[in-house]
Structure 1
Amino acid sequence: MDHILAGARLDRLPISKFHRKVLYLIGAGMFLDLFDVYLAGGVLGQLVKNGWSTMQLNASFISVTFVGMLIGAFVTGLVGDSFGRRFAYQIDLLIVGIASFAAALAPSMGWLILFRGIMGLGMGAEIVIGYATFSEFVPAKVRGRWISLLSLVANSSLPVCAILAYFIIPNLGWRYMFVIVGVLALIVWWLRMKYLTESPRWLEAKGKLEKAEQILSDIEHEIAQEKGHSLPVVNADHYQVLTSEKGGSIWELFSREYLKRTIVSMLYLIGTNFFTYTYVNWLPTIFIKQGISITTSLGYTFVMMLGAPFGSLIGSLITDKFGRKPISIIVFILMGICGYVYAISTTPPLLMLLGFCFMLLLYIVCAIGFGIYVPELFPTRLRIRGTGVANSAGRLAMILNPYIVVWLLNSYGVQSVFQSLAGYAFFLALVVGIFGIETKAKSLEEINRGVAV
């Protein structure tokens, strides 16, 4: 046996309970991962208000988070492609869970910042391994829709976090936000260890054909029993026959074959990271500095953050119909317009409406970029590396984000922050339009056929 056509066999399977199980298990971990990211806004606002922290310490908290996430994303890229997807996700949630309990017990802001950096290691790993692994299980013709659904599950944590922060932080204190993450992270970690399997595509790429065949046969048998009829015939067209692929070097991502794809993926995720965390981490603090109470500030933020799940839902409905590239271009242009209008608006109701619209548009491209487009751009042997490098670029930009935002706020005012976001959105529309490729409804093997396989 020199090949098993894992990609062709997985792509011809009908959607089943197996796919939903993988969606829920990966989605639960990503939900908690993003919940942990998003809780920073409410927690930091409260810490400034009660004198436990300052704007400068808040900036350090956010930067240390992204240093950890950068390292986590980069290391996961190497570990996930070398030792397996399952090995990588055995570690990330465990780190998040334990570090969250430690953060809840932090005796000072310095200790909280340290534990947040450790948390960041697991948080950066989860987003990389989650989307890339799920893309290897879902059939090509519905991959965009189902990965967008994964994004919807994950990004539902944004309004959930906002509403929990609204009730918990003023009444019970900020520490309970970390306790929630710690308890649930360890529960999901145990469920994943018990029920989530290794990617057959990765096993075949590494030449572990017997193990890949065993997992594939179990999946096929389970789905055939559920559907009550035989499975469709395997169509090997457009699928490379993998025979113990070499692991590939990370520097191959910057070779002639992959350079454009790597640049597009890096710039795409730099933008979506910058947009997301400027809004999520800084809006409550900005409102409080303008004299708005912590409760009202969190209420405003909650309304705006409702755009996130709606954006992910819309992304799931349109990405397989209209394609990744044209949707990205149009949405980035609309984000630029919305960001510019937000910068010159002053009335709270209009700001909330514009904030909601911006978040809705942002999470359409987040669902497409993080979950679908970037992992699709790289072959199996480089997928976690490529996704990890792109995410690392986003995290590197985020290390500078809090200092850039503080500088803009102190030097030029609130308007300059949102004008900067608008300008980068227009720039991304241009980048994707010139250098992006379309991947809609193509198998992962077909997308990368003829590109340094």
Structure 2
Amino acid sequence: MATNSTQSHREAQASPDPDAKLGLADEAARSIIATNFGNVEDDGVLEEGSLDPRYRAKATILNAAMQDMGFGAYQKFLFCVCGFGWFIDNMWPQVTAIILSSVQREFEFKPPSLLALSQNIGLLVGAAVWGLASDVIGRRWAFNLTLLVVGVFGLIAGASPNFEALAVFAALWSFGVGGSLPVDSAIFLEFINGKSQWTLTLLSIWWAGGQIVASLVAWPLIGNYGCPDADTCTKENNWGWRYFVFAMGGLTLLLFIIRFFIFNMYESPKYLMGKARDADAVDVVHKVAEYNKFESSLSLDHLEAVDRQYRSSESDNGDRPQLEDYTTASAALRRNLEKFKFDHIRALFRTRQLAYSTSLIILLWGIIGLAFPLYNAFLPFLLTNRGAELGEDSLSTTYRNYVIIGVCGIPGSLLATAAVELPRLGRKGAMCIATVLTGVFLFLSTTAKTSSALLGWNCGYSVTSNAMYGILYAYTPEIFPTSSRGTGNALAACANRVFGIMAPVIAGYADLTTSVPVYVSGALFIAAGGVMLLLPYEPRGKASM
């Protein structure tokens, strides 16, 4: 008995409490923050054990440095250039929806949902490729190239001689659009502090702007240069939609020029740290601080102190197997060599709670991916048909209403930005309410007996749907770890696009002249609102990791 007791005592000494071991890196980080960054709050969204301990400790220090710096000139400029991603994410799907009637009259293809189908295939591939690429090759190149791809293929699409060519180019421009938000949301989040993460929701105001600009530009061009009916429609008398696509392609290239040549985009510090490039991460923080006319206290020694503390604890316990380290050069090289073994995906399911959260997010994006395009992708088509039923079938009235609906999205973004910071609501509560109301407004739109009533219900839908998307686009990257944030965003976007592909297929079998697609869409939004209450993380007041 004495021998067994002595052996047990020795095993206990050789194998200390795992939580105590993992806490050493965190203690080092908190000590560095307390000494160098004053009373900065460093609570992270994700629970203990969901991240490599050294990665978490270093991310906490970088969060503290960003919070100490505040939301300065660099972040304000970044807000604008990242907003371009939100802008084109809504503008180009609106382009597809707006040109649908004109293109169908000229090319006479059936069903009309085929154009939306080609668009959604491009969006799916783009979301998968660009999201993963941002975790493998870095945020910076993906951030800049998406706009270039959209602009170039958008311009070429205007010269399409037939529907087949247009469908191909729509898929190609959508390939760029599909990667915009997964990448842009990740990079913006990684340059702001926890107290400023509400600005990620405010970015949705650019999303509303995409529909407004598309509607305003299309109104005179398609209205004045479009063919009157299918019987007399030819390329010669139907240049309106082509001028419109040329204009949108040119505008996108202008946004690319501003983003690439005028704004100096740095690589994400957390991304660099996760690739074992601590010195580069510190250098970027100091460059951003200099741009903001601020002197940062962060030094390379702060990050290296975490490594020293961790290695010291390992040397005290040589018998214990070492945990995987995300921050050494060898680990970074190994991850690059094994990037096709789904390491970035496995990291999103590392703990039970993180796996549960990731699964719900993917489910949510899938449901909304079916609900939103099932209605919104055919909104001009539906407005025209319903307007004809209600005695308001002029093209000018359709575009006027479309502009008004787009403008109504702006207060939705502002309301969402305010709501996500309310203690009793937070991200989840505000998102749930906005999503359920979106479904309710769609049901109510089917009761409209006049054109004005239809417009009113659609304005309500615009307010709540923009609020919903604004919060969901912000919430999703907040609850993913930086090392796999691009991949997490890509998985969510892929689910959205896969179900988005189903929308035009369903619409092709359903009669767009009836209210069936509207009922299905409304029911899906309400169901998604219920799922949102099951999400385990509430990021309000906490920094992303």
TM-score relative to the length of structure 2: 0.74
CA offsets, 1:88-141, max 9 Å, x none? 123211111110111011111110001111111101011211111111112211
> Which residue of 1 is the match for residue 380 of structure 2?
284
Does the C-alpha gap of structure 1 residues 33 and 177 become closer, same or farther in structure 2, counting only changes over 3 Å? farther
Are positions 1:392 and 2:494 aligned together?
Answer: yes
Displacement of 1:15: 1.6
Q: Distance in 1 between matches of 2:62 and 2:348?
A: 24
Q: Which range is displaced more, 110-119 or 153-162?
A: 153-162
Letter in 2 for 1:219: V
Letter in 1 for 2:66: L
Are positions 1:342 and 2:409 aligned together?
Answer: no
CA offsets, 1:148-205, max 9 Å, x none? 2221123211122112211121224011222122222223223323322211111111
User: In structure 2, which of residues 80, 91, 94 is the aligned counterpart of residue 35 of structure 1?
Assistant: 91
Are positions 1:418 and 2:518 aligned together?
Answer: yes
For the 8 Å contact 2:375–2:517, the answer to whether it is kept is no
For the 8 Å contact 1:304–1:355, the answer to whether it is kept is yes
Displacement of 1:274: 3.5
3-state DSSP of counterpart to 2:276: coil
Does the C-alpha gap of structure 1 residues 298 and 267 become closer, same or farther in structure 2, counting only changes over 3 Å? farther
For the 8 Å contact 2:113–2:507, the answer to whether it is kept is no
Q: Which range is displaced more, 389-398 or 154-163?
A: 154-163
User: In structure 1, which of residues 244, 258, 261 is the aligned counterpart of residue 357 of structure 2?
Assistant: 261
Q: Which range is displaced more, 376-385 or 328-337?
A: 328-337
Q: Distance in 1 between matches of 2:374 and 2:214?
A: 16
Displacement of 1:231: 5.9
> Which residue of 2 is the match for residue 212 of structure 1?
281
> Which residue of 1 is the match for residue 534 of structure 2?
434
Are positions 1:92 and 2:146 aligned together?
Answer: yes
> Which residue of 1 is the match for residue 461 of structure 2?
358
Does the C-alpha gap of structure 1 residues 196 and 155 become closer, same or farther in structure 2, counting only changes over 3 Å? farther
Q: Distance in 2 between matches of 1:101 and 1:313?
A: 33
User: In structure 2, which of residues 193, 203, 206 is the aligned counterpart of residue 139 of structure 1?
Assistant: 193
> Which residue of 1 is the match for residue 318 of structure 2?
none
Q: Distance in 1 between matches of 2:479 and 2:121?
A: 25
Displacement of 1:232: 8.3
3-state DSSP of counterpart to 1:269: helix
> Which residue of 2 is the match for residue 52 of structure 1?
107
Displacement of 1:301: 2.2
Q: Distance in 1 between matches of 2:365 and 2:190?
A: 20
Task: Determine which structure has more spread, i.e. the larger CA radius of gyration.
Answer: 2
For the 8 Å contact 1:200–1:212, the answer to whether it is kept is yes
CA offsets, 1:51-100, max 9 Å, x none? 334451x3121111111111111111211011100021232111111101
User: In structure 1, which of residues 286, 289, 295 is the aligned counterpart of residue 396 of structure 2?
Assistant: 295
Displacement of 1:233: 8.9
For the 8 Å contact 1:66–1:395, the answer to whether it is kept is yes
What is the RMSD computed on CA atoms of the aligned residues? Answer: 2.4
Question: RCO higher in 1 or 2 (8 Å CA, sep ≥ 6)?
Answer: 1
> Which residue of 2 is the match for residue 150 of structure 1?
203
Does the C-alpha gap of structure 1 residues 427 and 55 become closer, same or farther in structure 2, counting only changes over 3 Å? same
> Which residue of 2 is the match for residue 450 of structure 1?
none
3-state DSSP of counterpart to 1:258: helix
User: In structure 1, which of residues 345, 351, 373 is the aligned counterpart of residue 475 of structure 2?
Assistant: 373
Q: Which range is displaced more, 87-96 or 250-259?
A: 250-259
Q: Distance in 1 between matches of 2:289 and 2:427?
A: 30
For the 8 Å contact 1:96–1:123, the answer to whether it is kept is yes
Letter in 2 for 1:28: F
Are positions 1:243 and 2:327 aligned together?
Answer: yes
3-state DSSP of counterpart to 1:51: helix
For the 8 Å contact 2:87–2:210, the answer to whether it is kept is yes
Q: Distance in 1 between matches of 2:346 and 2:166?
A: 36
Does the C-alpha gap of structure 1 residues 231 and 213 become closer, same or farther in structure 2, counting only changes over 3 Å? closer
> Which residue of 1 is the match for residue 484 of structure 2?
382
> Which residue of 2 is the match for residue 168 of structure 1?
221
3-state DSSP of counterpart to 1:435: coil
Letter in 2 for 1:89: F
Unaligned runs of 5+ in 2: 1-53, 226-239, 308-325, 336-342
Q: Distance in 2 between matches of 1:394 and 1:27?
A: 20
Identity %: 22
For the 8 Å contact 1:142–1:441, the answer to whether it is kept is no
> Which residue of 2 is the match for residue 404 of structure 1?
506
Displacement of 1:265: 1.5
User: In structure 1, which of residues 71, 94, 116 is the aligned counterpart of residue 170 of structure 2?
Assistant: 116
CA offsets, 1:208-243, max 9 Å, x none? 122212111111223235xxxx66899x9xxx9873
TM-score relative to the length of structure 1: 0.88
